[in-house]
A and B are shown apart, each in its own frame.
Chain A
């Protein structure tokens, strides 16, 4: 009996010892993260809420990624920091502030206003080039042909976001800045501005701007990637998402024009000579200015997008429909809409660009980050530690108030996509970042 008791007591004591859970150490695998440079545009720079400002930049995806790199041999990661709470964008505007107020329709919804009357222009005059070289070479507005453009850093003709930190303004390029770091690893987000500068402007209203040609894009990508890999660097290249998966294009429904029976009758009488326009009580497509249409406007199609730039303020003032008081048609301007032709043009380029990006990633054994797939997945949602992220405007938690750039948590999700692709390509064991510790939106 005593032996039994001794056995029980001994086992009792042994079992009280705490089990230590072993944590796998992060490793770089076949990659070397000691000198990491990030090349890209708005996403890489850390633009959020429509502008570049201090706290947004502090949570850019390369910063978040570099923190994971740091556990696997990564070195310091330096950004051309801006010192501003309201920030600025290329249009000179400040960051946006979110509101939730009653609309003309009677319901409440989210909309934005600029946080200040103008952006903080001191950012552009605050030259920080002496603090370089920088690891984050993300510059808002950068298209594929800007990376190797020496005039892009020109203080008067170039991009002011780059000019403020260019090593030799008017001479050095973003690509030469990257090479000067002697990078061991790079991330490249290229082509987004080529596509979305066009798409965010509603397409080709003025034909002033269009999307980079496929051949020009391909040659730019070849130069950039070949230059970087020639240094011996490994890296990750991300592809380009579709506008269907970005709330800037999908938040305002094409058929948000709600009419009473009397209003529908009045409009049908007004457009009696146009056989393509027919209103009914309830939801109706908005109207778009179209010089080829009989009445100068046409009804939007289900496949077309009203952009977030056609704010509810405008819609409440009759835009997209009809001014019943003054009996005036107020169709949306083309810059507030992506029509079918423009979307087909955009998607054709996205497909071509993404093909190129995938091919060059494979050819150079680089990680290929499927942002297109990630953003598509956000339609159904991605659940992170009990929180569902979708591409729904504001309540989807992924995108910032501008409807295009992510929140810090959205950037963290993107970072984890990079980490997954890098680990899969280079047999590294980078740790995923904790998405929910990063800032979310400031909700009204």
Chain B
């Protein structure tokens, strides 16, 4: 079995170069699963099932489970001007809290509730970098509340339905070429949206289980967004009137995830899953009214796949090690690399550990890195050329409690 697990890991490292997925969907939704690279759709183990596959709630080891944690993301994105050795970098950081709880109401019905960061990114470049007229700072953050109910048909099969209640904000700031005194444009929007998720879980036997989820994230509607300008010379101010109370629609991707897990014995669990993400829905950001130097912002995304592998091993009952790997090929088109989110194929590795000082209480820690491979290209709308690569470090700590 160990050979199979090793081979599977290598397969994901090498063969998943044909997979794609990712985009700016958050991979660190809960800390307890971060250590397994977010591969959890087929693993009924913690209250994180309320996030990844609520259909598994009926198969969790405890009736009531609760988790809370916080993850941190530190990124470094490097930009190299085409044909020069000039180098610029962005160093944003983000902190993402998460809470999840599950409750088995009776033998058939379970409920879950989770709060987590579902999508987001943040890139903050130097004010005078060459791409300042495209973006200086771009930030998207979407938090999701996910109430769920699960229904177990038999001892081995369950389904679930969840509501996805999104709340998010989008901020974008860039310079304006208004002569030698450059102006600045700042776009800000806050809003909400709704989606749903359907899940199913099959526990074939004590060793093998599988899960399937279909997530329709819907749209994030940023109401009453504003586009404000500053430092505009008086002679240009007529060209840049402040625009407010317009709407931006961000069409979030749908996602279908299928996974399987193998429990070799009480100590070793491995899981693998594939996700197909409908990023093509988000081909652009739509603005409800025309704005100078505004939208729509064309993203030209493709639908994509991603693959994840997770493994955990209990050295002793009180100490569990976790590991995982994810590979994603960017949904961003290869001929349209935008500096506000210079995405590329990426691989991430995670390690985690769970300590159980008491039978009902455990502490999770996780850390990892995501390596976004070099991408050389052009922002096809702005004719901004260059090469990018990014490294993101993530870490987190959380607690788990069950009744």
Chain B nearest Cβ from A90, distance in angstroms: 27
Q: How far is the CA of A18 from the CA of B384 in the complex (A)?
A: 23
Residues of B within 8 A of A387 (CB): 133, 177
Residues of B within 8 A of A395 (CB): 236, 239
Residue of A whose beta carbon sits closest to that of B381: A383
Q: Which of B85, B179, B373 has the most CB of A within 10 A?
A: B179
Chain B nearest Cβ from A62, distance in angstroms: 20
Q: How far is the CA of A135 from the CA of B238 in the complex (A)?
A: 44
- Contact present for B349 and A8 (CB under 8 Å): yes
Chain B nearest Cβ from A327, distance in angstroms: 36
- Contact present for B179 and A442 (CB under 8 Å): yes
Partner of A11, one of B13, B177, B180, B236: B13
Binds A, one of B67-75, B76-84, B272-280: B76-84
- Contact present for A11 and B384 (CB under 8 Å): no
Residue of A whose beta carbon sits closest to that of B387: A21
Residues of B within 8 A of A361 (CB): none
Residues of A within 8 A of B368 (CB): 12
Partner of A441, one of B86, B180, B321: B180
B208 interface contact, C-beta 8 A: no
Q: How far is the CA of A5 from the CA of B134 in the complex (A)?
A: 43
Residues of A within 8 A of B78 (CB): 21
Binds A, one of B2-10, B16-24, B43-51, B189-197: B2-10
Interface size class of B (residues with CB under 8 A): 35 or more
A436 interface contact, C-beta 8 A: yes
Q: How far is the CA of A272 from the CA of B383 in the complex (A)?
A: 56
Partner of B351, one of A9, A21, A383: A9
Q: How far is the CA of A444 from the CA of B233 in the complex (A)?
A: 6
Residues of B within 8 A of A440 (CB): 177, 179-180
Q: How far is the CA of A254 from the CA of B24 in the complex (A)?
A: 52
Q: How far is the CA of A439 from the CA of B180 in the complex (A)?
A: 6
0/1 per residue, A66-102, Cβ < 8 Å to B? Answer: 0000000000000000000000000000000010100
Residues of A within 8 A of B5 (CB): 4
Residues of B within 8 A of A425 (CB): none
Q: How far is the CA of A395 from the CA of B238 in the complex (A)?
A: 11
Chain B nearest Cβ from A156, distance in angstroms: 39
A385 interface contact, C-beta 8 A: yes
0/1 per residue, A412-444, Cβ < 8 Å to B? Answer: 000000000000000001011010110111111
Report if A7-B234 is in contact (Cβ < 8 Å); known contacts: A387-B133, A436-B130. Answer: no
Residues of A within 8 A of B230 (CB): none
Q: Which of B13, B78, B180, B391 has the most CB of A within 10 A?
A: B180
Residues of A within 8 A of B311 (CB): 4, 8
Chain A nearest Cβ from B312, distance in angstroms: 10
0/1 per residue, B345-372, Cβ < 8 Å to A? Answer: 0010101000000000000000011010
- Contact present for A443 and B133 (CB under 8 Å): no
Residue of B whose beta carbon sits closest to that of A26: B83
- Contact present for A23 and B85 (CB under 8 Å): yes
A386 interface contact, C-beta 8 A: yes
Residues of B within 8 A of A432 (CB): 82-83
Chain B nearest Cβ from A215, distance in angstroms: 42
- Contact present for A11 and B325 (CB under 8 Å): yes
Residues of B within 8 A of A385 (CB): 130-131, 133-134, 382-385
- Contact present for A21 and B234 (CB under 8 Å): no
0/1 per residue, A1-22, Cβ < 8 Å to B? Answer: 1011101110110011011010
- Contact present for A23 and B80 (CB under 8 Å): yes
B398 interface contact, C-beta 8 A: no
Partner of A23, one of B9, B84, B133, B324: B84
Chain A nearest Cβ from B357, distance in angstroms: 23
- Contact present for B369 and A5 (CB under 8 Å): no
Partner of A7, one of B9, B132, B321, B391: B9
Residues of B within 8 A of A23 (CB): 80, 83-85
Chain A nearest Cβ from B71, distance in angstroms: 17
Q: Across the A-B interface, how many residue pairs have beta carbons closer than 8 Å?
A: 124
Residue of B whose beta carbon sits closest to that of A431: B83
Residue of A whose beta carbon sits closest to that of B264: A1
Chain B nearest Cβ from A366, distance in angstroms: 23
Chain B nearest Cβ from A118, distance in angstroms: 26
Residues of A within 8 A of B83 (CB): 23-24, 26, 429, 431-432
Q: Which of A98, A110, A384, A387 has the most CB of B within 10 A?
A: A387
Residues of B within 8 A of A19 (CB): 371, 373-374, 389
A289 interface contact, C-beta 8 A: no
Q: How far is the CA of A206 from the CA of B178 in the complex (A)?
A: 40
- Contact present for A15 and B347 (CB under 8 Å): yes
Report if A100-B134 is in contact (Cβ < 8 Å); known contacts: A386-B174, A397-B177, A441-B180. Answer: no
B323 interface contact, C-beta 8 A: yes
- Contact present for B13 and A386 (CB under 8 Å): no
- Contact present for B179 and A4 (CB under 8 Å): no
Q: How far is the CA of A236 from the CA of B108 in the complex (A)?
A: 81
- Contact present for A383 and B234 (CB under 8 Å): no
Q: How far is the CA of A359 from the CA of B14 in the complex (A)?
A: 55
Q: How far is the CA of A443 from the CA of B182 in the complex (A)?
A: 10
0/1 per residue, A351-392, Cβ < 8 Å to B? Answer: 000000000000000000000000000000011111100000
0/1 per residue, B174-186, Cβ < 8 Å to A? Answer: 1001111100000
Residue of B whose beta carbon sits closest to that of A439: B180
B205 interface contact, C-beta 8 A: no
Residues of A within 8 A of B391 (CB): 16, 18
Chain B nearest Cβ from A412, distance in angstroms: 13
Partner of A386, one of B86, B131, B268: B131
Residues of A within 8 A of B286 (CB): none
Q: Which of A1, A384, A440 has the most CB of B within 10 A?
A: A1
Residues of A within 8 A of B10 (CB): 7
B246 interface contact, C-beta 8 A: no
- Contact present for B382 and A383 (CB under 8 Å): yes
Q: How far is the CA of A171 from the CA of B242 in the complex (A)?
A: 62
Residues of B within 8 A of A9 (CB): 351
- Contact present for B234 and A436 (CB under 8 Å): no
Q: Which of A12, A382, A383 has the most CB of B within 10 A?
A: A12
Residues of B within 8 A of A98 (CB): 235
Chain A nearest Cβ from B369, distance in angstroms: 6
Residues of A within 8 A of B349 (CB): 8, 11-12, 15
B313 interface contact, C-beta 8 A: yes
Q: How far is the CA of A23 from the CA of B387 in the complex (A)?
A: 10
Give the top 4 A-B pairs by smallest Cβ distance, nearest first.
A443-B179, A100-B235, A386-B133, A431-B83
Q: Give 23 pairs: A residue, B residue, CB < 8 Å, sorted on A.
A: A1-B2, A4-B9, A8-B349, A11-B349, A15-B371, A16-B371, A19-B374, A21-B387, A23-B80, A23-B84, A24-B83, A108-B235, A110-B235, A383-B383, A385-B133, A385-B382, A386-B382, A386-B383, A386-B384, A395-B236, A431-B83, A443-B179, A443-B236
Known A-B contacts: A8-B311, A387-B133, A395-B236. Give 11 more (CB < 8 A): A1-B2, A4-B2, A4-B323, A11-B325, A12-B368, A15-B371, A19-B371, A383-B381, A386-B384, A432-B82, A442-B180
